Chains A and B, each alone.
Chain A
C-alpha cells in the first residue's frame, strides 16, 4: 500500500501505485452506479436464496421459505384450468351424443376437446384431420365400414376393432389363397373392379362373377354394396382401404390384411370418447 496517493501529472487522475517500466497505472474505479447495482444484485440473491428453492443437495434442494416451486405452480394452474372447465365437462358427461351436437356450447367444447384428444390418440394412424393413410381408414370421407352415425362411431371408439375384446367389432376375411385357385382369384379381382366401374378384363370378370357370388357376396353384398353389420366393406365405390389397383386387390383376396383398433374405453374417460365421437362425426362424413 502506497502511503501517499500519487496523481498523474498529465491527466490529473490518481494512480494505483503500480508501475511497470516507468508507466504508472491510473486508478479508474468502477462507476458508482455500476457498483451499487452490483451490491443490489448481491442483496437480491441473498434474499432469493432464503425465499426460493436454491441450493442443491445430493438428492434434493433447499425448499425455500416461501415453499414455491414451479412444478407446484403448474399443478395449481392445471387444477385451476380443470376447475374452470368443470361445468363443460359435467355437461358433456350428462348429455346424449345428439344433445352435444345440438347445443352450441357443448358442441364448441366437444369439438375443441375432441380435436385435442384426436391429435394425441388417433392421428398417429388416422392422420391429422382424419386424412387417413393406406391401411388406415380416412375418417373425413363418406365411406364407413362399421357405420358413420354418432352411435356407430361411439361404439367403434368404445370397443375398437379386432382387438380380442368381447364387444369389439370383429370380422375376419379368410385367406383365399388357401381356398381358391389363383385363376379364380384373378377373375374375382376383375369382377370386383367392374363393380365400381374401374378398368378390368371383361371375360375374366364374367368368370369371376360366379366365384364372387359363392364366396364374397355374403359379406360384401350381391352388388358389392357392403354389409355394415358384419363389417363387410363396400366394394362398388371409389374408396380402397388397401389400394384399388388390380394387384392390390388380388393381394388382399389372397392374404387379407385385417386392421386392428384398440378399444378406447380402457384408456380414455367416457366424456373424452363422447367428444371424440362428435369430432370424428364432424370431419365431413358424419351420417345421421
Chain B
C-alpha cells in the first residue's frame, strides 16, 4: 500500500478565511487554528538536530564554571545586574562598556541579513526561539493528543473526561517546559547552583520568582497559544526580510512550471494532461503556519522546509521526480521553467559582499577594542559648590572627586599626576601632606575607588576663570595611562 497517497482535506488558513468571506460573513475573520501534521524527512531530521543542539546550549551554558579568582563569580556566562558586570568566559564587561552588547546586536543583525540574502529565512525556520519552542510544544501536543486528524476531532468533540484529561496533561507538560525555560533564563543573571537551590527552598528573591514567572508565562503563551501569530503579526522581521531577498536567494519554492495543472491522478487517466502536483494538500497539512506554498512566496512562510519533506514523500510514492517543492533561487527556477541551462549559484553578489564586509568590520572593531581594552579608567567630578575657594594667601583651591576604575582582578596602586597647569599643589583627603602635583592612589581589585582631591594654584597663575587641564593616572606596573580632561575654576580676571 506504499504507493497510496492520502488526500488531506487541508486548506490554507488564507483559503479558509476567503471562503468565510465569500459566505458573507463579516470582514473580520478570527484566527484559523493550524493543526500541523507530523512529517518525516531530511529537513525534519535537520530541525530536530538543531532543536536539540540549541536547547542543550541554552540549558547547559549557565552551569559552565570559569575560575576568576576569589573576588569574582565563577560562572562562565553571567550578567550580574546587582554588581553591574557581565561575564563571558575570559571577558568581563563593566556598565560603561555596554557598547560591546550593541556591537554584538549589530553583528547579529548583519549576520541575519547575510544569511537571509543567501538562504532565505533559515533563522526563522530553524533557530528562532519561537520556532524551537513551538516545535517542542507541538511535539508534546502530538504525543498526547495524537496527529492532525485526531487533534481536529478532539477540538470538535464536546468536553468530556477523556478530552479534559488530555487537555490537562498537555497544558501541564507545557507549563513544566515553560517553567524550565523561564527558570533557565534566570540562571544567566544569577549564580546557577545557588539560584536553583534558592528557588526550590523558597529563599530566592521576589525578583527571581517574578521573572521566572514572567518568562514561564511568555513561553507558555507564545509557544503554546500564539505560535504562528507571533511570526505573522508580532515579529517585525517578516515585514522587511523581503528587502534581503533577490533572484539569487535560496527560498522554499514550488516548481509551478512542472506542477501545474495540478490534479488528482486517477487510474486509467492520461497523466500527461496534468502536472506533477497531485494536489494531495500534504504540504498544506504539515505547514506550521498554515499556508499553501503553491501560492508562491508569502509573508507567513518561515522557510522551515517541512513542505519539501511532505512533497518528496508523495513524489516518491507516485514515482515523479523529487523536489517539486524545493530550495531554489528565482533565477534557477526561471531557467528551469524555460528548459534553459541552470546558471551557477552566485554566492558573491554586491549585497552579500556588502554584508560580509560589514560583518568583518564590526567584528574587527570589536576584537580590536577587546584586545586593547583599558583595564584602568579615571572619572573626575569637579566640585560645583563652591566652584573655587580663595585662600588666605590669595591662592585658589578647587575640589574634585576622582573615581578610579580598576578593571584588573588584583589590587593596584596608581600614580596621579597633573598635565597642563603651572605650579599645582595637590592634597588627597585622608592622606598626610601636600604633594607638588602628584599622589599615590590605591584601588582594590575589580572595583571603583573614590578619592577627594584638593588642588591649589598660586593666584598669579590663575589667569582665566576656567583653565583646562588633565588628570593622568599611571599604572606603574603596566605603564598604562588614563587621562581625564577637566577644568580649574577661578575668579573672573
A27 within 8 A of B: no
Q: How far is the CB of B76 from chain A (nearest CB, A)?
A: 36
B383 within 8 A of A: yes
A127 within 8 A of B: yes
Q: Looking at chain B's contact residues, is the secondary structure mostly helix, strand, loop, or mixed?
A: loop
Separation of A285 and B427 alpha carbons in the complex (Å): 12
Q: Contact: A142 with B386, CB < 8 Å? A: no
* Binding stretch for chain B, among A52-60, A155-163, A185-193, A233-241: A233-241
Least CB separation from A101: chain B residue: B430
A128 within 8 A of B: yes
> What residues of chain B lie closer than 8 Å to A11, measured between beta carbons?
26
A113 within 8 A of B: no
Q: How far is the CB of A221 from chain B (nearest CB, A)?
A: 14
Q: Contact: A128 with B385, CB < 8 Å? A: yes
Q: In chain A, residues 101-147, which have Cβ atoms closer than 8 Å to a Cβ of chain B?
A: 127-132, 138, 140-143
A-facing mask of B3-42, CB < 8 A → 1, else 0?
Answer: 0000000000000000000000010000000000000000
Q: Contact: A239 with B26, CB < 8 Å? A: no
A-facing mask of B380-391, CB < 8 A → 1, else 0?
Answer: 000101110111
Q: How far is the CB of A143 from chain B (nearest CB, A)?
A: 5
Evaluate whether A140 and B392 lie within 8 angstroms (CB atoms) in the complex, with A282-B429, A284-B397 already known: no
Q: Contact: A237 with B386, CB < 8 Å? A: no
> What residues of chain A lie closer than 8 Å to B389, measured between beta carbons?
131, 138, 140-141, 284-285
> What residues of chain A lie closer than 8 Å to B391, measured between beta carbons?
141-143, 238-239
> What residues of chain B lie closer than 8 Å to A285, measured between beta carbons?
389
Least CB separation from B429: chain A residue: A282
Q: Contact: B383 with A129, CB < 8 Å? A: yes
B451 within 8 A of A: no
Q: Contact: B390 with A141, CB < 8 Å? A: yes
Least CB separation from B452: chain A residue: A282
Q: Contact: A127 with B454, CB < 8 Å? A: no
A-B interface, 6 closest residue pairs, ranked by CB to CB distance from nearest: A131-B386, A237-B392, A129-B385, A238-B394, A128-B385, A143-B392
- Inter-chain pairs besides A138-B386, A140-B397, 16 sampled, C-beta below 8 Å: A127-B385, A131-B385, A131-B386, A138-B389, A140-B399, A141-B390, A141-B392, A142-B391, A142-B392, A237-B394, A238-B390, A238-B391, A238-B394, A239-B390, A282-B429, A285-B389
A-B contact pairs, 19 of them (CB 8 A): A127-B385, A131-B385, A131-B386, A131-B387, A138-B386, A138-B389, A140-B397, A141-B389, A141-B390, A141-B391, A141-B392, A237-B393, A237-B394, A238-B390, A238-B392, A238-B394, A238-B459, A239-B391, A284-B397
